Amino acid sequence: MLTPRDARKLQIHQTIVVPGRSSGPELYTHQGDEECIIVLEGTLTIRTGSREYVLDAGDALLVDPQIGHGFANHGSRDAIVLWVITPAGQDM
């Protein structure tokens, strides 16, 4: 986690998703109002509801964290990703 634990309105996680890794076959939800997924390096596929998005470095996607979503790295290199969630204090 990049934000201090006492942050009240914003939470930022940086994650490295290695090739072949995913959040699993089931879509997940969590508390929060908004979630912005920003790909810094590599490629990440995001599923939300029945839609699928392929994000490359520099791409961002805003999702509702209370709607089922998931991710996978189908690429050949690590994906470095920022997950920005509001409000803070919610587990991801």
Whether 17 shows a pLDDT value over 60: the answer reads yes
Give residue 89's pLDDT: 59
Contacts of 74 (CB under 8 A, 6+ apart): 19, 20, 43, 45
Whether 11 shows a pLDDT value over 70: the answer reads yes
Average pLDDT of every residue of the chain: 91
Question: For residues 44 and 57, is the Cβ–Cβ distance under 8 A?
Answer: no
Give residue 90's pLDDT: 47
Question: What gap in Å lies between CA 20 and CA 88, rounded to an integer?
Answer: 29
Residue type, 72: A
Q: What is the pTM of this model?
A: 0.86
Whether 7 shows a pLDDT value over 70: the answer reads yes
Give residue 4's pLDDT: 75
Which residues lie across from 36 on neighbouring strands?
A: 62, 84
Question: What gap in Å lies between CA 65 and CA 48, rounded to an integer?
Answer: 9
